[in-house]
A and B are shown apart, each in its own frame.
Chain A
Amino acid sequence: MSRDLILSSIRSSLGRRAGQPVPARPPVLLKIPEVPLARRIGQFCEALGKLNGKSLVAKNLEEARDYVAGLVQGRRAIASNAPFLGECGITSIPGVETGFTGRMALRERCATYDIGITSASFALAETGTLVMLSSAEEPRLVSLLPPVHIAVVPTSKLLTGLDELLTLLPDPAGHTSGMAFITGPSRTADIEQFLVRGVHGPGEIHVVLV
């Protein structure tokens, strides 16, 4: 079997025995700066803005809801099953459908609707990133198939950056089968390095920090 063949030839090249322990690993390099919330919010909006993503800081749930309602107006949207969206009242905005649990129904809506609305497990201030842990509440396709993605995230989920995230979740695989970082709208520069947004994923992204 190739497995054993490969492993034994690796060991003979490296001069190692099966089951031999490894020497101490280089230490993990994680640095978490002290950044007050207001500054984190500013960083997040600035970083996302540079990538042509839009952001809004909402003072309360109603403001978040109104902003999203304004975006949805006249269009069809699918919302994920994240409880926070319900708390904000976003799932009762006219034009927003939610509560899908069947694979085909979800897919069909995501593929044809104009807007996907999600929350996010975390957001990273330094890079303007959304961290999505996929689950029954937060399926993958809602933030992926529709041309517009709106994420509504409480500021309590706003971390400084990647280092803080990996400190909180040293092993993401223990929490989800799939984690995705989303940093701005989908883009490509494959033809003459000319930037085009929305090639496969959403070309427009709005993040509402509540």
Chain B
Amino acid sequence: MSILPAGEIRKTLLDDRLQTAIYGSTGRLVGKRRESIDDPVAAEFEAWRTHANAIKRHTIENLDYYLEELERNIVKRGGKVVWCKDAEEAAEFVRRLCREKGVRRIVKSKSMTTEEVELNHEVEKDNIDVVETDLGEYILQLAKEKPYHIVAPALHKTRYDVADIFTKTLGVERETVIEKQTMIARRVLREKFLTADLGITGANFLVAGSGAVVVVENEGNARLSSSAPRIQIAFAGMEKLIPRAQDLAVFLKILGRSATGQPLTVYTSFLSGPRWPGEIDGPEEFYLVLLDNGRTKVLQDPAKRQALYCIRCGACLNHCPVYRKIGGHNYPWVYSGPIGAILSPQFHGVTRDPWLPHASSLCGACGEVCPVKIEIPKILLELRRDIAEAKEREGEDRVQQLAFKAWAFVMTHPKLWSLALTGAPYTMPEAENGWIRSVPGFMKIGPLAGWLSQRDLPAPAPKSFRRLWKERQEGRQ
């Protein structure tokens, strides 16, 4: 059972540079999303969300049917489907394929699913050169770090960090101009693309009726990974299904806007198997790795299985007052923020990181912005109940103690607490006539829980006292 990484969180909170980076980046993403959905062409955004939710619900409720349909269609076009029950099986498949096909170099485009498998680490055991090609992921691979955010993996790195990393690992002269840093990466990675035997991509959607993998991106590295090498593997969690290509009309419109405020990302690849006879480029062999790795377990709970609707847009992270303070690396698994807080306990069992569902202010922002309308706050509450039940089963108070620690931690850290309050006017929809009927979640456990469950709190003023006081002090200097 892992405990709250209080020391690490404290470090993040006290690191002003990091705080500015996280807050600034997520804030800009929030702004861009807003702008793109306020555009009149997106007037039906709410209807799209409702529709996307209905499609995902239908697909997940009939997942076995669509998986079989997908497989039939992929096989029909000469591709292969590899079903993997866990990370080991997936890694073992890739290592075996590399041995059989004599693969020496792999280019990879961004894929959170391969992060689950820690694929790079596995194939490196066989002395295979595996290279991340998304710029952010590449920087992190060189720095030996994990993604900080599901959409913007190197969100916490500044140009100076990148300069240090490139000088140290690539042996280039120190360069702090972002355009030039990008061109250094282009040059190094171009060489890798042209010499790789195998390209690995993720999958934003799997289209059952077409037997196709859909990948969206802005850089072109996923297109290159799937076009240049002679073998392609797409990695996907098996929940990524949608029934028909026509459903993409709605999903592509909500994904780009929710993630980065783009009506459509620069590249969308619709990949449906090996190249056809006569084609000059494209992969000769095409594999789809379908990963379970705990997903069937999540399916068991009818109320919480909606967590599998997630299209990994990152909007819930950007809008989360807790993520925006503690950042991505303090979450225990590859998925951070609100979606991480509901996925990790369902994948790994609620007692592994019992603090996680409590490290949320339940302000509701995540559920409000989720493009597929996952009821994240509701699932968080259910997980808290599960934790309490686990506590009873284990006949001991340890689980609750850990959860309480998270609560106490927030309450005793002025920076985090003040954030929860300053964030409140924007994110607390429940305030009616100046009273909040539903309080931030971390107040619902711990010693105040009973008291608060019977009372309303005054809504925070548009400017909190803390903020007014701070401004006053600053004004005096």
Interface residues of A, Cβ cutoff 8 Å to B: 1-3, 5-7, 9-11, 13-14, 16, 18, 20-23, 25-26, 28-30, 51, 100-103, 106-107, 111, 126-127, 129, 134-136, 139-141, 144-145, 162-163, 166-167, 169-174, 176-194, 196, 198-202
Taking CB atoms and an 8 Å cut-off, the chain B residues in 245-286 that contact chain A are 245-250, 252-253, 260, 263-276, 278-282
Q: Report which residue of A26, A28, A129 has the largest number of chain B beta carbons within 10 angstroms of its beta carbon.
A: A26
- A20, A191, A201: the one contacting B220 at CB < 8 Å is A201
Q: Is B63's CB within 8 Å of the partner chain A? A: yes
- A101, A180, A199: the one contacting B280 at CB < 8 Å is A101
Contact status of A9 and B266, CB under 8 A, knowing A136-B278, A144-B224:
no
Scoring B residues 96 to 139 as 1 if CB is less than 8 Å from chain A, else 0, what string do you get?
00000000000000000000000000000000000001111001
Q: Is B402's CB within 8 Å of the partner chain A? A: no
Task: Report whether B280 and A103 are in contact in the complex, using a CB–CB cutoff of 8 Å.
Answer: yes
Task: Report whether A9 and B247 are in contact in the complex, using a CB–CB cutoff of 8 Å.
Answer: no
Task: Report whether B85 and A2 are in contact in the complex, using a CB–CB cutoff of 8 Å.
Answer: yes
Task: Report whether A10 and B135 are in contact in the complex, using a CB–CB cutoff of 8 Å.
Answer: no
Task: Report whether A170 and B244 are in contact in the complex, using a CB–CB cutoff of 8 Å.
Answer: yes
Taking CB atoms and an 8 Å cut-off, the chain B residues in 15-73 that contact chain A are 21, 24-25, 28-29, 41, 47-48, 51, 54-55, 58, 61-68, 73
Task: Report whether A192 and B159 are in contact in the complex, using a CB–CB cutoff of 8 Å.
Answer: yes
Task: Report whether A26 and B58 are in contact in the complex, using a CB–CB cutoff of 8 Å.
Answer: yes
Q: Is B330's CB within 8 Å of the partner chain A? A: no
Task: Report whether B51 and A29 are in contact in the complex, using a CB–CB cutoff of 8 Å.
Answer: yes
Interface size on B, as a range, is: 35 or more
Q: Can you list 11 pairs linking A and B with CB atoms under 8 Å apart?
A: A7-B67, A7-B68, A139-B282, A167-B246, A173-B211, A178-B227, A180-B223, A185-B266, A190-B134, A190-B136, A193-B28
A136 to B278, CA, bound (A): 6
B439: min CB distance to chain A, Å: 34
Q: Is B371's CB within 8 Å of the partner chain A? A: no
- A interface, over-half SS: loop
B57 and chain A: residue at smallest CB distance: A26
Q: Is B153's CB within 8 Å of the partner chain A? A: yes
Please name all residues of chain A whose beta carbon is closer than 8 Å to the beta carbon of B336 when the two chains form the complex: none
Q: Is B421's CB within 8 Å of the partner chain A? A: no
- A21, A28, A126, A184: the one contacting B247 at CB < 8 Å is A28
- A140, A180, A184, A193: the one contacting B270 at CB < 8 Å is A180
- Contacts beyond the supplied A3-B83, A13-B296: 10 A-B pairs with Cβ under 8 Å: A7-B64, A21-B65, A134-B282, A141-B228, A166-B246, A170-B245, A173-B207, A177-B272, A177-B279, A186-B267
Q: Is B178's CB within 8 Å of the partner chain A? A: yes
Task: Report whether B64 and A10 are in contact in the complex, using a CB–CB cutoff of 8 Å.
Answer: yes
Task: Report whether A201 and B219 are in contact in the complex, using a CB–CB cutoff of 8 Å.
Answer: yes
- A10, A30, A103, A202: the one contacting B63 at CB < 8 Å is A10
Please name all residues of chain B whose beta carbon is closer than 8 Å to the beta carbon of A177 when the two chains form the complex: 77, 271-276, 279, 282
